[in-house]
Amino acid sequence: MSETLKTHLAVIGAGPGGYAAAFLAADLGMDVTIIDPEVNPGGVCLYRGCIPSKALLHVAKLLNESQEAARWGIHFQKPQIDLDQLRSWKESVVQRLTGGLGMLVKQRKIKHIRGTASFLDANTLKIIGVDGQKSQLQFNYAILSTGSRPAKIQALSLDSPRVMNSTRALNLEEVPENLLVIGAGYIGLELGTVYAALGSKVHVVEMLPNILPGADKDLSNVLYKSIEKKFASIMLNTRVAEMKALKNGVRVRFEGENVAQEEQTFDRVLISIGRTPNSDGIGLQNTRIKTDERGFIMVDEQRRTHEPNIYAIGDVAGEPMLAHKASHEGFVAVEAIHGQKAAFEPAAIPAVVFTDPEIAWAGLTETEAKKQGRKVEVARFPWAASGRAITMDRTDGLTKLIVDAESKRILGVGIAGPGAGELISEGVLAIEMAANATDLKMTIHPHPTLSETLMETAEMIFGTSTHIYRPKRGK
């Protein structure tokens, strides 16, 4: 007979959304139980996503810089790559972080059940442990944070060890001589950057006319110019029509307007076309919880589902599928459960692509402004005018501001260049605080830094940028 347990709050899934919610709930005095199959919290982000990929991107950056240093008179021998040691180091980073989270679970006296959960009704979960044991968990409240998984293309499903998703690509089984990346979104381009630095000839194919759908073209173009030199080819407006497993590779047939070679053979293929929410197989049919046509769980501004005592956060609750968005949704859900006035209504959620150069944006994009017919002003500060960028030999960057045409309130920020992911937070704060371009212009920034480019971009709104002569029209 299965055991019946009780808890005040059940958190299903222990990724950045789930564990952040569980930790806050415990800090507020709630009795909390986490259900997740891993030994420690972390979810896809820490185990198979954000963290291992950023560790490898750090290595890729070092390899690229060792080659770029020749321009400065510094010459290195060709690096020798110990793939086993690199893989072990990456895993040690994951273990250090997830192990630390495991300690925090114990310190907060949170119960952690290793297994998977599904709803029997709106107050009861059926749990199957990793050891096969079955139990039931009765709860007052639940937070669903089951995350997402790599999306598949049924027409291109191929039972071959040479075809990888993002999880397998991070395992670094080998460095293939020729790698095809299907999809030019952030995951595909980040992993392509890693493999290119390790020595693979990387080819990217994308159905759309630009890389990084969602980013403004002036930002993505900065990255395009860089990876065009590092990748073997970038095929835009092109689709994969067919894949066939061969003894020593995968033959791929392309369709598109500018396909130079209709059929090519690759050692490995990485399919990176987005992610699918994990909303199936968790017993939603036994509740009043509803999903939309894409499988995302429908929630209100407090992240409450159609069951008043069940909340959903993170990837399973809708886009953008970002770890930091999930964490903040978790905070809102817990605060609502605790009886506080809380709502998830950010003015800006930053997005960062950790390639080289990095691309980051937040708030209203220029593309969105045009679609909405909003009257805005856009200022772009080229890093060729930045003293700090010149000292780094990285003048390919760009900082842009999108402001309301009348009030000059900052509506959006975009940055392309090294460290863009660190710099974007100032832009996010400016948007959240409803700052205007004058506020940013008058904020003294240290010199010489890349952060100065935000200040100088704000100055350009008024035609007074120190290092760019671009007078305001009509002056």
3-state secondary structure of 9: strand
CATH architecture of 351-461: 2-Layer Sandwich (3.30)
3-state secondary structure of 394: coil
Q: Is 422 a residue whose pLDDT tops 60?
A: yes
Q: Where are the alpha helices (DSSP H) in 154-288?
A: 166-169, 186-198, 217-230
- Peptide bond between residue 150 and the one before it cis (omega within 30 degrees of 0): no
Is residue 65 marked as binding? Answer: no
Q: Give span(s): CATH 3.50.50.60, the chain.
A: 3-150+276-337, 154-273
Residue 34 CA to its chain's centroid (Å): 24
Q: Has domain 154-273 been given CATH number 3.50.50.60?
A: yes
467 is catalytic: no
Q: Is 1 a residue whose pLDDT tops 50?
A: no
Q: What is the mean pLDDT of residues 387-392?
A: 97
> Pick the catalytic residue: 112, 203, 445, 447?
447
Look up tokens 């290595």; give the residue: 59
* pLDDT tens profile 32-67: 999 999 999 999 999 999 999 999 999 999 999 999
The listed CATH number (3.40.190.10, 3.40.50.800, 1.10.10.410, 3.50.50.60) that belongs to domain 3-150+276-337: 3.50.50.60
Q: Give span(s): CATH 3.30.390.30, the chain.
A: 351-461
What pLDDT band is residue 471 in, cutting at 50, 70 and 90? confident
Q: What is the mean pLDDT of residues 359-363?
A: 98
Per-chain mean pLDDT for the chain? 95
Is residue 56 marked as binding? Answer: no
Taking the CB of residue 142, how many other CB atoms lie within 10 A of it? 29
Q: What is the mean pLDDT of residues 89-98?
A: 96
Q: Which of 36-40, 210-214, 255-259 shows the lowest mean pLDDT across its residues?
A: 255-259
* pLDDT tens profile 164-180: 999 999 999 999 999 99
Q: Which residues pair with 245 in a beta bridge?
A: 250
What pLDDT does residue 159 have? 83
What pLDDT does residue 469 have? 87
pTM of the model: 0.94
Is residue 315 marked as binding? Answer: yes
* pLDDT tens profile 104-128: 999 999 999 999 999 999 999 999 9
Q: Under 8 Å CB-to-CB from 108, ≥6 apart: which residues?
A: 22, 23, 26, 27, 32
Instruction: Name the DSSP letter for residue 232.
Output: S
Is residue 187 marked as binding? Answer: yes
3-state helix, strand, coil in the chain (%, to 5): 35, 25, 40
198 within 8 A of 56, measured Cβ to Cβ: no
What pLDDT band is residue 474 in, cutting at 50, 70 and 90? low
Structure tokens at 413: 């920020």
What pLDDT band is residue 198 in, cutting at 50, 70 and 90? very high
Q: Which residues pair with 312 in a beta bridge?
A: 144
Is residue 61 marked as binding? Answer: no
Is residue 191 marked as binding? Answer: no
Residue 155 CA to its chain's centroid (Å): 26
What pLDDT does residue 155 have? 72
Query: Which is it for strands 410-417 and 398-404: parallel, antiparallel or unpaired?
Result: antiparallel
